[in-house]
A and B are shown apart, each in its own frame.
Chain A
Amino acid sequence: MLDGLIIGFQTAMSMQNIMFVIFGCFVGTFIGMLPGLGPITAIALMIPITYGIDPSSGMILMAGVYYGAIFGGSTSSILINAPGVAGTVATSFDGYPMACKGQAGKALAIAAYASFSGGTIAAVFLLVAAPMLSKVSLSFQSPDYFALLLLGLTAVAAFSNKGSFLKSIMMTLFGLMLSTIGTDQASGVERFTFGQIDLLDGISFLLIAMSMFALSEALLSIISNNRDKKLGIASVTTEVGSLKLTRAEIKEMAPTVARSSVLGFFVGVLPGAGATIASFLAYGMERNLASAKEKLKFGKGSLRGLAAPETANNAACSGSFVPLLTLGIPGSGTTAVMLGALMSYGIEPGPRLFVDNPEVFWSVIVSMYIGNVVLLFINLPLIPYIAKALTLPKQLLTVLILFFSLIGVYLVSFNAFDIFMMAGFAVIAIGLRLLNFSMSPLILGFILGGMLEQNLRRSLTLSDGSISFLWDRPITLGILTVTALVLLMPIISTLRQALSSTSQEKEADI
């Protein structure tokens, strides 16, 4: 581990990579701050830039953007009560009331310190957990991978969109279906190309990520901006005030930060759970632990109420890297986009990453520390200036985001057909979002589709066409049992709900 850390520090601490982390944190903060645009959009916009640099630097840049976007989301949650990211919704519960009381600076400082602590503690966990898990997963074979991919896809659908499990499954399947477009790698047969030469290579992951996230989010932000203007909400406060915290305040928040870091990390490791669930769980936990008197402060500007979700969401971000780096299975939409980027660099994610590309593996871990330091010591003092971004004319920003998304994809393929496809997918994404479908399962299905097919094909070939590979190895059987449980739980709870309300109705009728 020590050797790995040295490799990581050597790579991440080069002048070029430090600049990438700083740049990433700034860009991430800026984009994350814009309501409606999240870390996935921020990362997707960076991907075309990262194609020109080496994979380690690319991942370092994207990790910086990820952290920055989460921090940017907290800033808009606190200043204008409009979370840029779902993971920072809980931050606005107590952050915005503090800003209303003229304590925006203090709230932002707490958010930054809590994020720093959560991120750092979780990065230490990641440092220990990732190599251990990598070593275990080195013994995995195709059937285990197939089972693991199924678990990843199912768990994301089960956890990512509570209450609409079937919708998430539909989106996963839609992503899987899209992944079959193009020439079949094994047989060379064309599938769903409809005679279009432009579709022979399939649809690029970047195109899907940009149109489903960046374009659709930017276009839908027009509607929400106009609605906000109409309703007169979200008046922008760029007067931040003092960033100082007293010793008593730090003492009050320390146990909260410790608890929320642990909770956030472990929730982040679970596929599909991620920063949003972690932040809400931490907020709920802190509220339950508070005394009756303190409980009354929650929702009105409680320091603990602000520190808990902020710590947990950053810890969860680090946690979500565990399945990505060790198993090659992304735990969230954001890490799915990063996985796609890794694959486009020609790097095979999974347990071999630790062995074959140690510089990528370790530099990502080390860059998380650096990212946290940058956020705390460089971004925080500059927040009053970065916050001015919230007053920039939205009409200019939206069109510029559209331009950068379109040109980002075009510069990779140099094919104008991709721009038409992006417009088409943006329309589909807008429709799906309006029907309350989540995009994360779709991108996950799309990225993992190829791997799923490849591993199933290999497993069936190795077992002479028999499906006995599903139970031959204890690891495969174990993972599939967990998958079945994950799949059955929401179905049973939905059916139980449906049955109980039907019986209640019958009783009411009687």
Chain B
Amino acid sequence: MKISKNVIGALIFFIFSVSYGYHAYQIPLYPGEEYDVFTSQTMPKLYAFLGIIVSILAIIMSVLNDSRTTNDTEKSADDFDKKSWLQVASLIALMVYYGATLEQFGFILSTISFLIFGFLILGERSKKRLFLASVPVVIVFWAIMTQLLGIYLSPGDLWG
């Protein structure tokens, strides 16, 4: 039996709500605060409760509907190909790399490498384009920010 997108979504939200609710009960309270009508836990508990109720409702409704209609999981498999997904995953990894190197290597170096790697991931192979769309863009951006607007951009902890 295939599980539809709706059921998967609702199940994930159910698990999330339960976990959120568990952590809502862990929010510390000041002594005596437990007798107050409204505490820091009130809204989180309410949201968790509503989340659980709504997700259970959504699961029931989806199961009822899916028993009558064909599910749409097959469609999604056709819609997206492996290469595109690999590109998306690589770009997400590249964003993490950018976050890790921005303050270490400095704005200019890390941004130029981010842009060049990004273009390469998406299939750009022309050296001229790779250069023109990265180095001048970063230098102009850096000049506007630091020289014109006086905004500090990290020169890089490694070189400092």
Which of chain B's residues have a CB closer than 8 A to the CB of A395?
119, 122-124
Which of chain B's residues have a CB closer than 8 A to the CB of A170?
9-10, 13, 51, 54-55, 58
Contact of A222 among B8, B37, B87, B102 (CB under 8 A): B87
A416 contacts B123, C-beta separation under 8 Å:
no
Q: Does A174 contact B (CB under 8 A)?
A: yes
A226 contacts B20, C-beta separation under 8 Å:
no
Contact of A461 among B16, B28, B38, B40 (CB under 8 A): B38
C-alpha gap A377/B137 in the complex (Å): 30
Chain B 2-17: CB-based contact to A (< 8 A → 1; otherwise 0): 0001101110110011
CB nearest neighbor in B for A505: B68
B20 contacts A177, C-beta separation under 8 Å:
yes
CB nearest neighbor in A for B81: A226
Size bracket, chain A contacts: 35 or more
Q: Does B158 contact A (CB under 8 A)?
A: no
Q: Does B50 contact A (CB under 8 A)?
A: yes
Shortest CB–CB separation between residue A104 and chain B, in angstroms?
Answer: 28
Q: Does A191 contact B (CB under 8 A)?
A: yes
Q: Does A435 contact B (CB under 8 A)?
A: yes
Which of chain B's residues have a CB closer than 8 A to the CB of A230?
81
B43 contacts A423, C-beta separation under 8 Å:
no
Q: Does A471 contact B (CB under 8 A)?
A: no
Size bracket, chain B contacts: 35 or more
B92 contacts A426, C-beta separation under 8 Å:
yes
Shortest CB–CB separation between residue A54 and chain B, in angstroms?
Answer: 15
In the complex with contacts A189-B29, A434-B76, A423-B119 CB distance below 8 A:
no
In the complex with contacts A187-B30, A416-B99, A400-B88 CB distance below 8 A:
no
Q: Does A270 contact B (CB under 8 A)?
A: no
Contact of B102 among A410, A427, A457 (CB under 8 A): A410
CB nearest neighbor in A for B132: A396
A222 contacts B151, C-beta separation under 8 Å:
no
A498 contacts B65, C-beta separation under 8 Å:
yes
Contact of A420 among B10, B64, B99, B145 (CB under 8 A): B99
Instruction: Please provide the chain B residues from 96 to 121 with a CB less than 8 Å away from any CB of chain A in the complex.
Output: 96, 98-100, 102-103, 111, 114-115, 118-119
Which of chain A's residues have a CB closer than 8 A to the CB of B81?
223, 226-227, 230
Shortest CB–CB separation between residue A308 and chain B, in angstroms?
Answer: 31
C-alpha gap A427/B96 in the complex (Å): 12
B84 contacts A227, C-beta separation under 8 Å:
yes
A437 contacts B84, C-beta separation under 8 Å:
no
In the complex with contacts A419-B98, A435-B5, A498-B61, A186-B40 CB distance below 8 A:
yes
Q: Does A184 contact B (CB under 8 A)?
A: yes
CB nearest neighbor in B for A422: B95
Q: Does A486 contact B (CB under 8 A)?
A: no
Which of chain B's residues have a CB closer than 8 A to the CB of A186?
40
Which of chain A's residues have a CB closer than 8 A to the CB of B47?
173, 176-177, 180
Shortest CB–CB separation between residue A463 and chain B, in angstroms?
Answer: 9
C-alpha gap A394/B13 in the complex (Å): 34
Which of chain B's residues have a CB closer than 8 A to the CB of A176?
43, 47
Contact of A416 among B48, B64, B91, B100 (CB under 8 A): B100
Chain A residues packing against B (C-beta within 8 Å)? 52, 164, 166-167, 169-170, 173-174, 176-177, 180, 184, 186-187, 189-192, 215, 219-220, 222-223, 226-227, 230, 393-396, 398-400, 402-403, 406-407, 410-411, 414, 416-420, 422-423, 426-427, 430, 432, 434-437, 449, 452-453, 456-457, 460-461, 465, 494, 498, 501-502, 505
In the complex, 23 of the A-B residue pairs with CB atoms within 8 angstroms, ordered by the A residue number, are A52-B149, A170-B10, A170-B13, A170-B51, A170-B55, A174-B51, A180-B47, A187-B40, A189-B27, A191-B44, A223-B84, A226-B87, A227-B80, A395-B124, A400-B137, A403-B111, A403-B115, A411-B145, A416-B100, A419-B98, A423-B92, A436-B6, A461-B37
Chain B residues packing against A (C-beta within 8 Å)? 5-6, 8-10, 12-13, 16-17, 20, 23, 27-30, 33, 37-40, 42-44, 47-48, 50-51, 54-55, 57-58, 61, 64-65, 68, 76, 79-81, 83-85, 87-88, 91-92, 95-96, 98-100, 102-103, 111, 114-115, 118-119, 122-124, 129, 133, 137, 141, 145, 149, 151-152
